[in-house]
Structure 1
């Protein structure tokens, strides 16, 4: 083989070796960088998705917590009823005192506020154990605070009117002072921070100013889920008889009749 032929043979061998090396799959630097970037992007995407999911769960839990805090602990009431402060309304109608008395009479019976709670509910809510409900030993007798406040307000009004009219006091002085202190405690406990506006030409602050109140009717409905059949009639001293104002189809009817006989007040 001549020198020229040897050179061509060497060139062919080199070219052949180059083609053979291309048969093996060796990624280029660009392909490697592209794969790394894809993995990095996928990792960041997953990271942010997980973080958003965790944040969403935390926000949901917080909203539920705030919702629970906004509602009252027992009846679940919210401040969602707009009511303006009023003066000289139906409960202070100075031009017609008799009409005013009738309005106060409508809310004078607080029997709905006396309830019988199961011991399981009492334990769940962390309440003190109360006196036994006469017709079911697994229940205790409780008075809803709002109804107690209403009772005290009525007691104070009665005492004030009797004094104003020069009549003998029907209630004891100790009861009146107890009610004064009970309302003081509740006012201090609630610490209502609503600023009442002072208007030109008005000597009374907050006139017609709207505030958000709780629904009394819903409280009334909630109390009916724990009926105690109680009613305080001054002429009735027997405690069992006072708790006998149940519906005629009450599950306690047989026991009431057995205990009180004709002295029961079923259906009243």
Structure 2
């Protein structure tokens, strides 16, 4: 049998074709040839359903594979956090509440942003496992640990700096953060915004007279900030930004705020010449703003 004849004998029937009677029956085809028309129609319907089911199954499996790779790309590179936390967009929060006093806002921005905790002491083996570059040694355990800065906390540091600079300008106070640093912070916000590329589409209220602003109440998904804080607190390097802007102060003075059960306190006492009963004072109250 020629290939052409074989093709003509086995090709699928079109919707308007009758059963193939032009070619002689071959093998088991005589069974189908003697089928009644209604039986042949049922068989064609069954075959079409089977093919459609197989196509759907393949599509489903491909979707799982592609969807899984997309989810993997959304997971953060080091703490492996996904967008799992339900949240809402709001035009204003407590940090921009127009009903709050200036003193209340200053307190929030000056002392309520946990940027310092983003400076961490990471075990060198853990850092290598994460593929991180070498970093400055941790002062009290330099052979085993190094200092790293969590990027999200650096951004918090920057938005805090910008607020402080604006408030000092508004109240005619001396600027404690220099212009190049503020410019760096603005540029960091630009870079991080474009890198994150949040594509949430904020709706525009139909009637702003009701007080709603673009995006108010709109659902969104976030990473779990609590997990980030758990990580940084587990890698606390005893750092507090003591005496902001003081360039004469040794940076080691800022790495001595360890908890009472810290194994590094004896080293700190010895280095600074403190007595055995010395304990670091908690950094509370105003830092760079008066409130």
Q: Report the TM-score when normalising by structure 2.
A: 0.65
Alignment counterpart, residue 225 of structure 1, candidates 202, 221, 234: 234
Kindly indicate which of the two structures has a greater share of residues assigned to helix: 1
Alignment counterpart, residue 86 of structure 2, candidates 82, 87, 94: 82
Q: Any idea what the Cα deviations from partners look like across 1:202-231, whole Å, max 9, x if unmatched?
A: 384212111111121221111122121111
1:241 maps to which residue? 253
Query: Which of structures 1 and 2 has the bigger CA Rg?
Result: 1
Counterpart Cα distance in 2 of 1:225 and 1:124: 17
Q: Any idea what the Cα deviations from partners look like across 1:123-149, whole Å, max 9, x if unmatched?
A: 221212111101112211111111100
Alignment gaps of 5+ in structure 1: 1-57
Counterpart Cα distance in 2 of 1:171 and 1:225: 30
Q: Any idea what the Cα deviations from partners look like across 1:13-59, whole Å, max 9, x if unmatched?
A: xxxxxxxxxxxxxxxxxxxxxxxxxxxxxxxxxxxxxxxxxxxxx99
Counterpart Cα distance in 2 of 1:217 and 1:205: 27
Tell me if structure 1 keeps the 8 A contact 2:119–2:239. yes
1:115 maps to which residue? 120
Alignment gaps of 5+ in structure 2: 1-61, 283-291
Residue aligned with 1:133, SS: coil
Tell me if structure 2 keeps the 8 A contact 1:241–1:265. no
In the TM superposition, what is the alpha-carbon distance from 1:168 to its structure 2 partner? 3.1
1:261 maps to which residue? 273
In the TM superposition, what is the alpha-carbon distance from 1:253 to its structure 2 partner? 2.1
Higher relative contact order (CA 8 A, sep 6+): 2
Tell me if structure 1 keeps the 8 A contact 2:91–2:214. no
Tell me if structure 2 keeps the 8 A contact 1:231–1:245. yes
